[in-house]
Amino acid sequence: MTTTEEKILTAAIELMAEKDYQAVTTKEIAKAANVSEMTLFRHFGSKMNLLEAAVERFSIIVPLWQTVEKQISWNLEADLLLIAQLYQSLIRQNKKAFTVLYKESKHFPHLKEKVMYKNPVSLKNHLVEYFREMQARGQMIDVNPEVPAVGFLYMNLNAVLGINDLLSQLDESEFILQAVRIFARGLKA
Amino acid sequence: MTTTEEKILTAAIELMAEKDYQAVTTKEIAKAANVSEMTLFRHFGSKMNLLEAAVERFSIIVPLWQTVEKQISWNLEADLLLIAQLYQSLIRQNKKAFTVLYKESKHFPHLKEKVMYKNPVSLKNHLVEYFREMQARGQMIDVNPEVPAVGFLYMNLNAVLGINDLLSQLDESEFILQAVRIFARGLKA
DNA sequence: CCTGGATGTTAGTGAGCACTAACTAACAAA
DNA sequence: TTTGTTAGTTAGTGCTCACTAACATCCAGG
Beta bridge partners of B188: B140
What fold, for A4-57? Arc Repressor Mutant, subunit A (1.10.10)
- Nearest in space to A143 (alpha carbons), one of B85, B150, B174: B174
Mean local confidence (pLDDT), A181-186 = 95
Alpha carbons A16 and A132: distance in angstroms, whole number = 40
User: For residue B168, is pLDDT > 70?
Assistant: no
Q: What is the pLDDT of residue A149?
A: 93
What single letter denotes the amino acid at residue A29?
Answer: I
* Coil vs helix vs strand at B168: coil
Gap from B2 CA to chain A (nearest CA, Å): 31
In whole angstroms, D6 C1' to B47 CA is 20
pLDDT tens track for B3-60: 889 999 999 999 998 888 899 999 999 999 999 999 999 999 999 999 999 999 988 8
Q: What is the pLDDT of residue A165?
A: 63
Integer angstrom CA distances of residue A56 from A9, A12, B165: 10, 12, 21
pLDDT tens track for A10-66: 999 999 988 888 999 999 999 999 999 999 999 999 999 999 999 999 888 788 999
In whole angstroms, D3 C1' to B42 CA is 21
CB B181 within 8 A of CB B152: no
User: For residue B93, is pLDDT > 90?
Assistant: no
Instruction: Spell out the SS3 assignment of chain A.
Output: CCCHHHHHHHHHHHHHHHCCCCCCCHHHHHHHCCCCHHHHHHHHCCHHHHHHHHHHHCCCCCCHHHHHHHHCCCCHHHHHHHHHHHHHHHHHHCHHHHHHHHHHCCCCHHHHHHHHHHHHHHHHHHHHHHHHHHHHCCCECCCCCHHHHHHHHHHHHHHHHCCHHHHCCCCHHHHHHHHHHHHHHHHEC
Instruction: Spell out the SS3 assignment of B74-122.
Output: CCHHHHHHHHHHHHHHHHHHCHHHHHHHHHHCCCCHHHHHHHHHHHHHH
Gap from A116 CA to chain B (nearest CA, Å): 8
A26 touches strand C (CB under 7 A): no
The answer to whether A108 contacts chain B (CB < 8 Å) is no
Mean local confidence (pLDDT), B68-93 = 94
Q: Please enumerate in sequence order all residues whose Cβ is within 8 A of that of A75, keeping only pairs 6 or more positions apart, or say none.
A: none
Q: What residue segments make up the domains of chain B, in order of their start?
A: 4-57, 64-187
